[in-house]
Structure 1
Amino acid sequence: MKPLFSILTILFLFGISNAQKADHFSKAEKQLIKTNRTEMMRVYNLSNPADSIVLKSVSKPIRPKDKLTKLLAERMLMSVNDPDNKGVGIAAPQVGINRRM
């Protein structure tokens, strides 16, 4: 029980430290998240030079309680479940949002 409590405490403290450093979404990020909100998002690919720049950029922390975070997560789930983009997982930079989810 003690190891479980220690792990949960570490995760809690890590979450708090990330939440304090997180910025709000930029205007460009908000627009990307809100556009076609019921559709999947375009998945970025390293073979595209413009996409490659986004994918190789450093991601910022995300605010878990931001209203757009839930919408972003829902749209990312649609994107990863798309039969044309088969994969086992997805990260926010793969849909053009440089945030750590």
Structure 2
Amino acid sequence: MKKYIMLGVALLVFASLQAQNITEADNQLINEGGAQTPMRVLQTTNPKDKMVLQTLSADVNLKDEMLPLLIQRMYSTVTDTLNPGVGIAAPQVGINKNVIWVQRFDKQGEPFEVYLNPKITWQSALLRKGPEGCLSIPDIRGDVLRSYTIRITYYDKDGKYHDEIVEGFTAVIFQHEIDHLLGILFTDRLEQQEQKHYTPINGEVNLFLEKPLKRQ
């Protein structure tokens, strides 16, 4: 699994060199409803949906005329009272473009914010273990190890570039959603961490460092 995750990271760097317009097929999907209409969330239990969820996404053209409606419909989806979440990525609604919404629990009022072409440029060695679920993976939850602190770059909806440090649970959400852009699910991370060894920090039950393997 590790080699596939590393390949996904390398491919994301390559794909991000050139932003892509939203395709005609994507346009039709986005135009199926208005700004306040939630989109269907893809499910791993559906083979066709799972293929989309495991596909590497590309950077989106910030000037694409369909982008504002996609952003609005994604927000309506993640805040849908029938099935709310704390974050969502465009692949989860069938669009393989680098667009995510994240609820900022680290900000006053805990607002939802949209991030375009986000990249994680640095991750701390200090890890946080916590429960995760996914709107696209029904009836499964698990304790995932994520970096406690990350550095991200992204564009906001006005096209302004940002470089930011994020910590704690909000950093977890960013990592979960950006994984979706790489075609990686949190269940892949669970499988990956089972193959490694970790050391708790100062007896903490949820803070760890990856333990290096002993030389033979």
Asked if these proteins are the same fold (TM beyond 0.5), I'd say yes
Identity over aligned residues, as a percent? 42
- Number of the residue aligned with 1:35: 32
Does the Cα contact within 8 Å between 2:77 and 2:84 map onto a contact in 1?
no
Please state which structure has a larger fraction of its residues in helix.
1
CA distance in 2, matches of 1:82, 1:34: 18
Which runs of 4 or more aligned residues in structure 1 lie more than 2 Å from their structure 2 counterparts after TM superposition?
Answer: none
Residue 37 of structure 1: CA displacement?
Answer: 2.2
| 2:34 alignment partner, SS class | coil
- Number of the residue aligned with 1:21: 18
Residue 24 of structure 1: CA displacement?
Answer: 1.3
Residue 84 of structure 1: CA displacement?
Answer: 2.1
Task: Spell out, residue by residue over 1:49-93, the C-alpha distance to the aligned partner (whole angstroms, 9 max, x if none).
Answer: 111010001101101221211110000000001122221100000
| More deviation, 73-82/27-36 | 27-36
Paired residue for 2:44, among 46, 54, 65?
Answer: 46
AA of the residue aligned to 2:31? K
CA distance in 1, matches of 2:59, 2:34: 22
- Number of the residue aligned with 2:82: 84
| More deviation, 20-29/85-94 | 20-29
Structure with more relative contact order (C-alpha pairs < 8 Å, separation 6 or more): 1
CA distance in 2, matches of 1:33, 1:86: 19
Residue 44 of structure 1: CA displacement?
Answer: 0.8
CA distance in 2, matches of 1:54, 1:79: 18
- Number of the residue aligned with 1:100: 98
| Unaligned segments of structure 1, at least 5 residues | 1-17
CA distance in 2, matches of 1:74, 1:41: 10
AA of the residue aligned to 2:28? Q
- Number of the residue aligned with 1:57: 55
Structure with larger Rg: 2
| 2:71 alignment partner, SS class | helix
Residue 22 of structure 1: CA displacement?
Answer: 1.1
